[in-house]
Amino acid sequence: MHTVTAYRSDLSQFWQFLTLFDSPEPKDWKSTIIRSWMSEMLTDGMSPKTVHRKISALRTLIKQLRKQGILEKDPMAKMTLPKIPKKIILDIPAADLQQMFRNFPWNETANGERDCLLLLLFYTTGMRLSELINLKKSDIDFSRKNITVLGKRNKQRIVPMHPELCVALEQYKSDGSYTGYLFTLENGTKLYPMLVYRIVTKYLQLFSSALKTSPHVLRHSFATHLLNNGADLLAIKDLLGHTSLSATQVYTKNSFEKLKLVHKLHPRE
């Protein structure tokens, strides 16, 4: 979102660019002039995201000028903006997670059993933070070894239980006898998001040098590690609860980008 300062700064840069032309009045603005400004910004190394912000400021101004009757036509009506590249999703290396689950003294740590189970659920099911917080004991089916997850827009999905997760769930003694939630505070109410975030970050930072450590990164790790080990993309889509395949395809890009980085290490120049 634009701040007033950023808005003024972006428009000021556009006014400065207009001095290169003979007729900088709004009525003389053409799509070619705006495209030239956009091209200059990109040539100067400005990121597509920043260019989008500056063009957005100009678009807002043009809208105001048209309302005031100063401009009849919108010079940006058919303009195509540069694509903003999607960020590569960084996963927690599988080796780091294996070391964490195997080597940390969970049984000797306060709430260690709960924390270990919480991390296992994120990593072996790929569920979202909100889904884990609202998970109830009745959602766990030990006979079928699966978990019913209530996702976005109250859409349910069935996620299989990893054998290690199944054992951890059977051994876990939940305090949520009254509310039915799997994870609760001492008063029986469900955990709150910031607490879960702190728990996950605490352990991941102990065992991994990854730049980002959060429940969402564990969800990414779940999907990426499955894909790297040959899992079908459609199956991963269903496990994550995505409504469209395009949301899941980002993991394909993630894996390919990592392969390219590895390939750069090839000794042949």
C-alpha 238/C-alpha 247 separation (Å) is: 11
Active site residue 225: no
3-state per-residue secondary structure call for 12-38: HHHHHHHCCCCCCCHHHCCHHHHHHHH
Close Cβ partners of 2 (under 8 Å, ≥ 6 residues apart): 10, 53, 56, 57, 60
C-alpha 44/C-alpha 39 separation (Å) is: 9
C-alpha 187/C-alpha 240 separation (Å) is: 31
Active site residue 153: no
Active site residue 152: yes
Catalytic pick among 8, 86, 152, 202: 152
Catalytic pick among 54, 114, 219, 237: 219
C-alpha 69/C-alpha 25 separation (Å) is: 14
Catalytic pick among 128, 220, 225, 237: 128
Active site residue 251: yes
Q: Using N-to-C axis directions, what is the helix angle for 31-43 and 4-18, rounded to 10°?
A: 110
Catalytic pick among 7, 123, 181, 251: 251
Active site residue 266: no
Residue pair 150/133 in contact (Cβ under 8 Å)? The answer is no
Q: How open is the CA angle 63-67-71, to the nearest 5 degrees?
A: 75
Active site residue 216: yes
Catalytic pick among 35, 59, 216, 253: 216
What separation in angstroms does the CA of 144 have from each of 112, 118, 132, 138, 163? Answer: 27, 21, 19, 13, 12
Q: Which residue do the tokens 């930072």 mark?
A: 205
The structure tokens listed for 183 are 């994870």
Q: Which residues are catalytic?
A: 128, 152, 216, 219, 242, 251
